[in-house]
Structure 1
Amino acid sequence: MSADNVKLGHELSEAVAALLINLPIKAASFIVTIYGDVIEPRGGVVWIGNLIETCKSVGITETLVRTAVSRLVAAGRLAGEREGRRSFYRLTEAAQAEFVEAASLFYGPQPAVRWQFVLINGPAPEEIMQGLEREGFARLNPRLAVGTHPAPPLPGRVVVFDAQLATENGALREFAEEAWNLPRFAEAYGEFIARFGSFFERVGNCAALSPFDCLIARLLLVHQYRLIMLREPHLPKSALPDNWPGEEAGRLFAELYLRLSKKADGYVARRFVNESGKLPEMTPASQARLDHLKAR
């Protein structure tokens, strides 16, 4: 039997198990969530057995975990290391920088709006355009996109323009309604609020939840919030419809994250390991996340 095999079983509470109803989860995406929430602020390295154990509780098999990790290695996101008979996986430098930037969206203050236009030159602009749309940019024509944050590194011949908003009136809201599919994001936020708002009502201060329950609930919370936050355009309030559900979702995320974190972080410190030993319960990076959420 491999030293990486994990036979531990954890039965989730009814409240946490209910979060998984009608919630399909892809292995690679959930592993990215684990790294982003738990591993990156604690050095970026973890034993694969911890990934297997954690993923098992949400219905992801060991085989799927190992396949997903191999693909993340091939994509340059993770790098494998051996220590005796155990396998550890480290975030690559590029992935770590990307994770830090993404974390600021979830745990940091409200991001500043920085309007940018991206002009795509050369042949076959569609692939680049689709990548921009996945980053929350809006397609204005086949070669021109606009967004409210710096464009990611782009292949091919592109020209990026910084822009300053000269007027802020009803026309901006009309433009946003035409350029972005805001109802899609509003619906996603609504589903997030319904799922985790119901969970919040059931668990209250989380006293009845086990530490493992708290960790899994927090990972599911981050996972679902991340899927929306990395794709939505992050428009200024003046460009959004009235009663935009993103604000309520942000408050719910912060409150639940804070309530779940004491037990969740305690479980991490007892069970998660890297090549040097157990991961710390708290680091300056993980504490900064809590402090930012408290200040919201």
Structure 2
Amino acid sequence: MESTDSPTVLLKEFTQRKPFRTRSLVITFFGDIVSQHGGNVWLGSLISVLAKFKINERLVRTTVFRLVQDDWLEAHRLGRRSYYRFSEYGKQEYERAARRIYSVHEADWSGSWQLVILRGVSEERKEKLSRSLRWQGYRSVTAGVLAKPGEGGGDLIETLRKFSAQDEVLLMSATTPEISSAEIIRDLVYKSWRLDEVAQGYNQFLNRYRPILSWFKNNEGETETLFETACFVRLMLIQDYRRLLLQEVPIPRRLLPTSWPGFDARHLAAKIYHILGPLSVKYIKTELESANGNFPEAAPGFSKRFNEFS
């Protein structure tokens, strides 16, 4: 009988989720793995990896085709084989996300806010623009107004340029005066950023992955099966953690509830990733192919992921 804390049980639960987010998992695969090993992957390798998650070849082909259409991926052919990599847009979007996934940048909050007032952005571009701004921490506080605690920074300007929206939005800075009640501000953040739902997600993450950490600690060794298992658990870990970060957004610590489960989730993700990283790379280098053959060694930056917890 399979242990309830095993990766097999985790994989079964992962593949049975509804709706299953194939597109999101493909982006995670390119961002977490392909980007660190040369930047491109043979379609056959992608199909092989996703088969582990019970995703059939037809759905894989449809998904990557749509990601190319949406400017997330680029395709190129060598002979009869197709290879895929992040487009410039996809690379920028995932690198922005990676700064939040793999490292921590906490700054003191001075009480400032950045406001983005959508004036004339077309509906066609508004969805993509809003999705990108969500990653940067913006949320709707009233109709047509997005807000974020802190400064806008270079990411905001870069995003507006990407969508040619500099002349279609109004940027404003605001400051919370000392007279404002701290409880009112926390309540605004709690409701606008739906922190109750985010906290629930973090607690589910902790319950799901704490047993996985114990399993790997109890199953040390150097076997091909363990290397393969580490690769697929790593994908599930980052997929789940990335989805949580998309919901949470970077909020100053003083605006969060006490005993925020996101802190524990980050420590747990880091501990597991430090175990999975070296093991999974041994599988990745021998089983996945790029346009230049087997995947090369991981990029130097790979060893720095989650390094604040090393």
TM class by smaller structure: 0.7 to 0.9
| CA contact 1:137–1:146 (8 Å) conserved in 2 | yes
Correspondence 1:41-190 to 2 at 5 A: 41-112=36-107, 115-122=113-120, 128=126, 131=130, 134-135=134-135, 136-148=137-149, 150=152, 151=156, 152-153=159-160, 155=165, 157-163=168-174, 167=178, 169-190=182-203
TM-score normalised by the chain length of structure 2: 0.81
Deviations 1:107-133 (A, max 9, x none): 112354684211121487898489268
Task: Please give the secondary structure, in 2, of the residue aligned with 1:59.
Answer: coil
Matched AA of 1:35 = F
Given residue 131 of structure 1, which amino acid in structure 2 is its aligned partner? Answer: S
Judged with a 3 Å threshold, the aligned counterparts in structure 2 of structure 1 residues 265 and 202 are, in CA distance, closer, same or farther, namely same
CA distance, structure 2, for counterparts of residue 186 and residue 126 of structure 1:
32
- What TM-score results when the alignment is normalised by the length of structure 1? 0.85
Identity of aligned residues (%): 28
- The alpha-carbon distance between structure 1 residues 171 and 14, as it changes in their structure 2 partners (threshold 3 A), is closer
Opposite residue 193 of structure 2, the aligned amino acid is W
CA distance in 1, matches of 2:189, 2:124: 22
Contact in 1 for aligned 2:67/2:73 (Cα 8 Å): yes
Aligned to 1:272: 288
- The number of aligned residues is 282
Q: How does 1:220-239 map to 2 (within 5 A)?
A: 220-239=236-255
Q: Could you say which residue in structure 2 is the equivalent of 1:40?
A: 35
Per the alignment, residue 240 of structure 1 pairs with: 256
Structure 2 gap ranges (5+): none
- Work out whether residues 74 and 85 of structure 2, in 8 Å CA contact, stay in contact via their aligned partners in 1: yes
For residues 119 and 181 of structure 1, what CA distance do their matches in structure 2 show?
21
AA partner of residue 55 (structure 2)? I
Deviation at 1:41, TM superposition (A): 2.4
Amino acid in the other structure paired with 1:120? L
> Which of 193-202 and 214-223 deviates more?
193-202
